[in-house]
Structure 1
């Protein structure tokens, strides 16, 4: 049972919150459902959006009396797919209702209507601001068509945690000397997202965790430079690299490197995935994977996608982190594997192969390379919805897409975007992230036999938590 409506008390009604709740309580019942006061649930802290969203999504039906800040409440209503009603006390609130309604309309969040504390429907001035409904008629909300929830950053992150938790994965974090890693580990353990092994000096990690006020008791702390596993790992690595002339002594030294040690844990089934890179380069993070885990049989390269999350929009961008100048065959492979990865996170993939030209409107070697990649991708995955070459506007704006590439099922509706090279991809994802207030989750590496994901050295704690959750989900698929 979902939230039936989000009620946002404004003007005079906001000052009569206790009376509002009492009135709602009088009509509480099977027709109305439960009445939840967001302030009562979240006290003493003022509600931030994530906390408010948790309350809304944990509410067992009924109505949610929200904060009274209309923009905040409209965003909350959109996130849970419930209609928003502005709560007015009566005619005296008409002017403020006009102002608030106008603000919501301008940002595309039109309230369903008005709930009235006094009287049944009020005068025509209030009626003009939207459907008016008296509290005695709240059972009518059963007939309000629910909206599709808007996938914003908070909704996405919450769903990510839930999906990761169900995977029951074990993730290794090699960089135990980084405070961000330890703080993220504390949060992951508190949310029961996955099992964790943290590499480093166990006593040093425990002491630093205590200094930071963190609870790391649920993690396994392992010193990669000593112990029986080091010898076992070295013997396995020497065997894997025997054709390259690697000796056992050389393997012992190599296994003392945190990235190699963690990757060998995955190879031998002691962990399901790895997240690293907060203090190391991408090459240092993924090079051991090529030597130990290796790629899946159908992959010739490792590539990446970023999940770009904005209110109402969930897109995947590839490849923005690994391959500088992919060939047409590699672009085709990136397109196919990016669609598969995107599908793991709730995207029904419609793949646009991007270029500076749409269809046959332009020419040049770069356009021809994308066109060839589209043809190869169609051959490799004939059931995949993919098209190109497409300019970005033709890929996302329906009127532009149908004008430039009429009849295309992708043009104007794309949600997976494959960039022709690393230069354009990396620039674009960062531009969207910084100017559109987007949450960029990734890079998510693709093509390896087991999940290994790289962090930016500027990663925040939230970035690390999200990447570990992504890795756990990949391990469970």
Structure 2
């Protein structure tokens, strides 16, 4: 990846300067809200905290706030550039905390080289922060600073330059040693570099099982051995009896090279002199101690890692610190101890052995990854790192007695982490839990597609449903084999060869014989997966169908309507999206099917959508939207909406509905209560019925593209049996979520 100087400067200076801002988490728009946020309302939490200091975690952001503290003496390979020049890095660190673990950060730059002043300044910050991340402070002062802060403070203190690299590279070393067929206790390790990161790495390796006497460490003056008299106490721990004349001498027969120094100091010949299946972690950045190209050219049996993102096995600290702090904050740990660090290491090592999900593959340009020499640590954009590492750290904190707020249900905690980052949503997890109680048979007409196979495997693995894949059996089985899945978990049917095709064709012919379909037409159509799958659902050989990944929307709906049809008592189907924005949940309908519905059709859409909303254990509160507020603009378009409201009220008096109303009236409770107190939508609406397809489609797409809203769907509403349309851009997780919704719908229909 190439980034120019101009691009970097423009990125940091355009618009709002820098990379961070502070945003209120509570509404602060009205005079009343401001009075609650500040005086006089703020006095109440102050009084409670005065009585019990622990309540500071209840009434303030302390529990999710970390200070990134630096004096700019060892910045990013730039050296001692000072606190001002180091500030962009500290802001960047804050961005990473937020992006990967939803932790808020204030960056604190201290204008001092005196470790005692740094220590005192940080100690005074304890009431403000839930944790302290020390950053870019040079050795050996960083050791003294961290040790004293850990000793004297009652919140987690973590120097990422030391322990971040140590944790990540140790996870990589554990996996590399396994692949190389070597025992950690027997590894002969050569380390170039003797600063904070190198010493912390070696300490972590020893915790994992490496022997101190097998570590040969080099600083700028050469090999660290017992003949030297210039060693500080941290380096002296690694002084050996043996004396190596230089790095090349030490690397002969070595199993592992760890580079934490500077670029281009290791030659091909030095790598060639290493033992069988050598492990080389050249982590100097941006120029490794030996280039990736030279290293793999020197040895075909090498296991190589660098600090760069453009080569396999990037040792990136972002795999560690956000998730370590997340776990520590969530149990309100007093410190981050060695057991918590090792728990993070082992969690990362274990995750690298798991099958890589599609979301990660997509993040890296579609490239496949599997455990082996080119994949020994997870990728930074693997969202699973959060709910692997943070719970492991939290559990270790509880096990070692440093947690002040233990987690009672670790599975629930993992789900909360997933929800926190938007990977999954609470509303979808409700459906997943419901689906697991009564898994159903789900037919996927696009069974040859790899994404469908991956999703279907997860649907089976998570006990959501029993997948049925349609398509060429040989093609599907070969892809299942390539993906490393067990074949017997899938039912595979080729519609062109199925003995059921004639039965389905006959039944379809009975339905459509007066609509222009001949027996031959019916037989030909049943060989089309979408028709075959829809008839499986209609005749009870499957409970639900999902399709649309490779076809246009009508190509999925049309077969479903012709084979299954609309729910009894209704005349149309409609499309609905779930929109989650700023932790509020809305349902938008109709967004995909009906271009210009009549008043009667709008009423049907509202009633059917309300029943679907109930599946999510949510009470529907329906707003029928228009450009008019309760007759303020009496045009035919708005009068149609008002008429639809009356139809719903007459047919379903149990439903909470009102309109016609403008969109802001529907979603801003204060506006509704102040200007239209007669309306019965107390607290605002959650189900928004749009007057036509233009409005609905435009609304959800604008929210999807211009905001951070999570948009789930479309959910096809009004079918007699569950059929849902997945879209071309849907991820594996989207398909899994829709499968869960379909299973719950099938169970509801059965009951």
> Could you tell me the TM-score, scaled by structure 1's length?
0.72
- Residue 335, structure 1, aligned to residue 457, structure 2: no
- After TM superposition, give the deviation of residue 180 of structure 1 in Å: 1.9
Label 1:263 to 1:403 Cα distance change in 2 as closer, same or farther (>3 A).
same
Label 1:314 to 1:216 Cα distance change in 2 as closer, same or farther (>3 A).
farther
Aligned position for 1:14: 157
Supply the distance in 2 between the matched residues of 1:367 and 1:245 (Cα, whole angstroms): 39
Of 143, 151, 155, 2:425 maps to 155
Of 546, 553, 558, 1:275 maps to 546
Label 1:54 to 1:421 Cα distance change in 2 as closer, same or farther (>3 A).
farther
- Residue 352, structure 1, aligned to residue 623, structure 2: yes
Aligned position for 1:241: 512
- After TM superposition, give the deviation of residue 314 of structure 1 in Å: 1.6
- Residue 164, structure 1, aligned to residue 435, structure 2: yes
Supply the distance in 2 between the matched residues of 1:417 and 1:466 (Cα, whole angstroms): 22
Label 1:232 to 1:405 Cα distance change in 2 as closer, same or farther (>3 A).
same
Supply the distance in 2 between the matched residues of 1:160 and 1:318 (Cα, whole angstroms): 19
- Residue 445, structure 1, aligned to residue 716, structure 2: yes
Supply the distance in 2 between the matched residues of 1:434 and 1:394 (Cα, whole angstroms): 23
Supply the distance in 1 between the matched residues of 2:333 and 2:638 (Cα, whole angstroms): 67
Deviations 1:304-356 (A, max 9, x none): 21111235212110000010100011111111111110110132111111111
Of 451, 463, 466, 1:180 maps to 451
Question: Does the 8 Å CA contact 1:394/1:411 hold for their aligned counterparts?
Answer: no
Q: Match of 1:241, SS? A: helix
Unaligned ranges ≥5, structure 2: 1-56, 65-129, 134-148, 150-155, 164-323, 335-339, 352-377, 409-415
Question: Does the 8 Å CA contact 1:9/1:66 hold for their aligned counterparts?
Answer: no
Aligned position for 2:680: 409
- After TM superposition, give the deviation of residue 254 of structure 1 in Å: 1.4
Q: Match of 1:163, SS? A: helix
Supply the distance in 1 between the matched residues of 2:643 and 2:717 (Cα, whole angstroms): 22
Of 716, 735, 739, 1:468 maps to 739
Aligned residues: 386
Question: Does the 8 Å CA contact 1:37/1:65 hold for their aligned counterparts?
Answer: no
Label 1:55 to 1:232 Cα distance change in 2 as closer, same or farther (>3 A).
farther
Root-mean-square deviation (CA, aligned residues, Å) is: 3.6
Question: Does the 8 Å CA contact 2:442/2:543 hold for their aligned counterparts?
Answer: yes
Supply the distance in 2 between the matched residues of 1:179 and 1:164 (Cα, whole angstroms): 23
Label 1:436 to 1:245 Cα distance change in 2 as closer, same or farther (>3 A).
closer
Label 1:447 to 1:155 Cα distance change in 2 as closer, same or farther (>3 A).
closer
Q: Match of 1:348, SS? A: coil
Supply the distance in 1 between the matched residues of 2:490 and 2:517 (Cα, whole angstroms): 33
Label 1:377 to 1:41 Cα distance change in 2 as closer, same or farther (>3 A).
farther
Deviations 1:112-161 (A, max 9, x none): xxxxxxxxxxxxxxxxxxxxxxx89869x9xxxxxxx8976423343332
Label 1:53 to 1:380 Cα distance change in 2 as closer, same or farther (>3 A).
farther
Question: Does the 8 Å CA contact 1:301/1:330 hold for their aligned counterparts?
Answer: yes
Question: Does the 8 Å CA contact 2:344/2:389 hold for their aligned counterparts?
Answer: no
Deviations 1:146-197 (A, max 9, x none): xxx8976423343332222223111000012322212222222222220010
- Residue 388, structure 1, aligned to residue 510, structure 2: no
Label 1:176 to 1:399 Cα distance change in 2 as closer, same or farther (>3 A).
same
- Residue 434, structure 1, aligned to residue 556, structure 2: no
Aligned position for 2:562: 291
Aligned position for 1:316: 587
- After TM superposition, give the deviation of residue 54 of structure 1 in Å: 7.9
Unaligned ranges ≥5, structure 1: 28-34, 68-134, 142-148
- After TM superposition, give the deviation of residue 387 of structure 1 in Å: 0.7
- After TM superposition, give the deviation of residue 51 of structure 1 in Å: 5.9
Supply the distance in 2 between the matched residues of 1:51 and 1:404 (Cα, whole angstroms): 48
- After TM superposition, give the deviation of residue 227 of structure 1 in Å: 2.6
Label 1:50 to 1:233 Cα distance change in 2 as closer, same or farther (>3 A).
same
Label 1:181 to 1:196 Cα distance change in 2 as closer, same or farther (>3 A).
same
Flag the structure with larger Rg.
2
The 5 Å alignment of 1:62-141 reads 64=394
Label 1:26 to 1:284 Cα distance change in 2 as closer, same or farther (>3 A).
closer
Supply the distance in 1 between the matched residues of 2:403 and 2:717 (Cα, whole angstroms): 55
Supply the distance in 2 between the matched residues of 1:375 and 1:188 (Cα, whole angstroms): 42
Supply the distance in 1 between the matched residues of 2:704 and 2:429 (Cα, whole angstroms): 19
Question: Does the 8 Å CA contact 1:39/1:66 hold for their aligned counterparts?
Answer: no
- After TM superposition, give the deviation of residue 283 of structure 1 in Å: 1.6
